[in-house]
Structure 1
């Protein structure tokens, strides 16, 4: 069993310019949880003299809507979360993703998978509450079996993962370890409809756009070792990661665009201004000592990247109030 180990979390010391990112999916309006993650991303970058990239993650063409693209950009601007580069989009970048995919294919690491969602749920138990570990059902099919199955179903393409442990220091969650084979399994890099999977696209995009700092919700923490593994295979740099607690509803359910929980329009109507919304979110999450109205720039006076683990220790979620 091998070990893939990345650098530790630390403040920028002149090694690389800090560049964070906003990476919304245009499938609905921003809510309090999205704003919290974006605010921390902005503070991490700006507190170190860095920049922010805006990338619209519109891989899912059916769900991505122009009205949401326009709305989310307006939301960021209204909140004072200004970006320095972009907006960049994922649609129309298939040729770039294909280059990375071909590199993996040339390494002999790609194989067709004919499993349906029902097959996957029946064949494996969920890991860490949500993730299903792929049991390798289609990995060892011979050519005749693959041909037979391809007559019935167009396959997705999976990446073979080794029996290896990925370790990295998260700026919020601390030391994280995942055994790729036992806790993830071979994962999809190209869907059955031909679209490139999120894991591959974001790795390519982050590298091309010079992103060195990735901040997102802790619900995506289990995906990070897969992305680090892809970075290793493709010879791409590793960003520093910060996975912040989720903001949840009173019943413990995480906020959702679909359910319109704590949607920005409602927040502004409730609190009176974007400045008051930022201040309230900063206060309940511990980014600020109170919930007094504030702009992102004003929060820089009390923000310190090194305080994040202390502020959020043992917290996977924060209840919305």
Structure 2
């Protein structure tokens, strides 16, 4: 179990040459898209001789499905994907996020905001200055983003990226008005605290990267490397976790789902042809894995 939040520090942990992670939200059972992200992040970590961790991102209780986190962890075990350390749950790390937020406020990088969605309708939801018509009992807290803030980074899968965070996002939320921690802050703080060097995840989170790099810089934290994998889509073309055709993977019969995840990563199915057990398939996958074959486009389930 992780130590109590009160004993944690937001200082970055000593990082190895490569440490990756898989960080599902417990909004449902593990589905083919999340399994592909887990397998892809695991393969990249193993291929680099690095470590692989698992973190449960349970920051939004209204959206959480009871028991989903435990079923996700049980499924990962059934698929042979075992983390190299204890599982961390974000719901237990509030003190860590509070210390980071207090530092941002003290340094002038963050500010309290009473603006509602209706207040920001004229700017398409983009916050560039406070225009609130009434004060909220509990304001949100936002990161102060310069109007010309542009972030450039190299994505292992998608190549050079430039995101104009100032123009397309503006000042973004770190602590919500309902009291819940925002995804952007928690991810950045946890990645640093866990010594994560490489963030491997689905392409639906690509547009979060610029915001997270700005936060890393504001907190004086190491900037992680990134790889955004293609999405697995349903028959309706939507991301599988949001598609009506989404079905959870079957942990009692792991080989078919692992083979499909392998193929969705652009890898040669023939490389796993002789494997009839998980304990045979994963070593074969490690040997045959070629990161350069990962496609940039989405994959139909």
Pair 1:279-2:265 in alignment = no
Partner of residue 312, structure 1:
295
* Counterparts of residues 89-168 of structure 1 (less than 5 Å): 89-120=89-120, 122-125=121-124, 134-138=126-130, 149-150=134-135, 154-162=138-146, 163-168=148-153
Offset from partner CA, 1:120-153 (integer Å, 9 cap, x none): 4x3234xxxxxx5x14241xx6xxxx7x722x55
Partner of residue 83, structure 1:
83
Offset from partner CA, 1:184-230 (integer Å, 9 cap, x none): 11100010022221101110100111111111111110100110111
Partner of residue 285, structure 2:
299
Partner of residue 4, structure 1:
none
TM-fit CA distance, 1:289: 3.6
Partner of residue 40, structure 1:
40
Is the contact made by 1:23 and 1:54 (CA closer than 8 Å) also made in structure 2?
yes
Counterpart CA distance in 2 for 1:288 and 1:39 is 15
The correspondence for 2:268, drawn from 278, 288, 298, is 288
Partner of residue 200, structure 2:
215
Partner of residue 236, structure 1:
221
Unpaired segments ≥5 residues, structure 1? 1-14, 126-131
Pair 1:173-2:153 in alignment = no
Normalised TM-score (structure 2): 0.85
Is the contact made by 2:233 and 2:243 (CA closer than 8 Å) also made in structure 1?
no
CA RMSD of aligned residues (A): 2.3
Counterpart CA distance in 1 for 2:269 and 2:69 is 33
Counterpart CA distance in 2 for 1:252 and 1:153 is 41
Unpaired segments ≥5 residues, structure 2? 1-14
Secondary structure in 1 matching 2:91: coil
TM-fit CA distance, 1:250: 2.1
Counterpart CA distance in 2 for 1:230 and 1:247 is 29
Partner of residue 12, structure 1:
none
Partner of residue 6, structure 2:
none
Counterpart CA distance in 2 for 1:87 and 1:297 is 23
Secondary structure in 2 matching 1:62: helix
Partner of residue 28, structure 1:
28
Counterpart CA distance in 2 for 1:79 and 1:208 is 27
Pair 1:49-2:54 in alignment = no
TM-fit CA distance, 1:82: 1.2
Is the contact made by 1:257 and 1:263 (CA closer than 8 Å) also made in structure 2?
no
Counterpart CA distance in 2 for 1:108 and 1:161 is 11
Is the contact made by 2:127 and 2:172 (CA closer than 8 Å) also made in structure 1?
no
Counterpart CA distance in 2 for 1:276 and 1:212 is 31
